[in-house]
């Protein structure tokens, strides 16, 4: 029987402040956290590139504070450039976190970034179980839409050929007359007002 589980993906978040001095401080803290950190062997962009972007923004901010002609527009451009570098670095950290989900929070925090968790469904529910009588299998899946129909198929040869069963308007069905002590595969597809969805991944069960 196959069912869905909830996977908690840990996301790296920057929470970039709007004030320039605070943004610069955050960027410096991230560089400091990642410098010499074995968790991040090849930062993208390189930390030297990020450091240069920080320096460029500091210089532009000083000119803007001094009310140098055209300095505000130049400062805003440097801020945009630094934010782009930080977002690229966040994506790099996220990639490493996704590759090691058990340690994702620690990986993100060690980069000087914030942690945010979101829950996402790993897969759509699709389950099969033996029914009350021999040769009977009950199938159930998740409702695809408020109004939908469901096509069902089963295979007795490992998915080489499929036998179409009657469609239903509910996300469940009962298949009778299967050969006991054999392994049977099942799949389904939902049909909504948008059209037919792809067939699901097959699941198998030993029929009793």
Tens digits of residue pLDDT in 146-189: 899 999 999 999 999 999 999 999 999 999 999 999 999 999 99
Last residue of a domain, one of 68, 99, 120: 120
Residues 92-116: tens digit of each pLDDT:
999 999 999 889 999 999 999 999 8
What's the mean pLDDT when you consider all of the chain?
91
113 plus 19 within the same structural domain: yes
114 plus 151 within the same structural domain: no
SS3 content of the chain, % helix, strand, coil (to 5): 35, 30, 35
CATH number at residue 173: 2.60.40.10
Whether the pLDDT of residue 3 is over 50: the answer is: no
Domain count, the chain: 2
144 plus 103 within the same structural domain: no
115 plus 164 within the same structural domain: no
pLDDT at residue 92, as a whole number: 96
78 plus 63 within the same structural domain: yes
Residues 46-60: tens digit of each pLDDT:
999 999 999 999 999
Read off the pTM: 0.55
188 plus 101 within the same structural domain: no
Q: If pLDDT is split at 50, 70 and 90, which confidence band does 78 have?
A: very high
135 plus 109 within the same structural domain: no
Question: Is 103 within the bounds of a domain?
Answer: yes
Domain that includes residue 138, residue range: 126-206
Stated as kind and residue range, the H or E segment containing 135 is none
116 plus 133 within the same structural domain: no
Residues 80-92: tens digit of each pLDDT:
999 999 999 999 9
pLDDT at residue 119, as a whole number: 52
Last residue of a domain, one of 74, 105, 120: 120
List Cα–Cα distances, 19 to 16, 88, 106, in angstroms: 9, 20, 28
């Amino acid at each position: 029987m196959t069912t869905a589980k909830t996977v908690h993906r840990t996301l790296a978040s920057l929470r970039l402040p709007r004030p320039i001095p605070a943004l610069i401080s955050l960027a410096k803290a991230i560089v400091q956290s990642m410098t010499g950190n074995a968790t991040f062997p090849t930062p993208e962009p390189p930390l030297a590139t990020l450091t240069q972007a920080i320096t460029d923004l500091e210089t532009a901010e000083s000119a803007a504070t001094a009310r140098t002609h055209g300095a505000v527009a130049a400062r805003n451009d440097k801020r945009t450039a630094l934010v782009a570098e930080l977002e690229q670095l966040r994506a790099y950290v996220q990639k490493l976190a996704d590759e090691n989900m058990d340690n994702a929070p620690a990986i993100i925090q060690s980069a000087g970034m914030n942690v945010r968790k979101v829950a996402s469904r790993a897969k759509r529910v699709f389950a099969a179980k033996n029914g009350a009588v021999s040769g009977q299998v009950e199938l159930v899946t998740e409702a695809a839409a408020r109004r939908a129909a469901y096509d069902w198929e089963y295979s007795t040869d490992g998915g080489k050929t499929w036998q179409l069963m009657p469609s239903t308007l509910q996300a469940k069905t009962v298949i009778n007359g299967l050969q006991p002590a054999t392994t049977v595969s099942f799949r389904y597809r939902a049909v909504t007002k948008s059209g037919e969805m792809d067939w699901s991944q097959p699941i198998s069960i030993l029929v009793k």
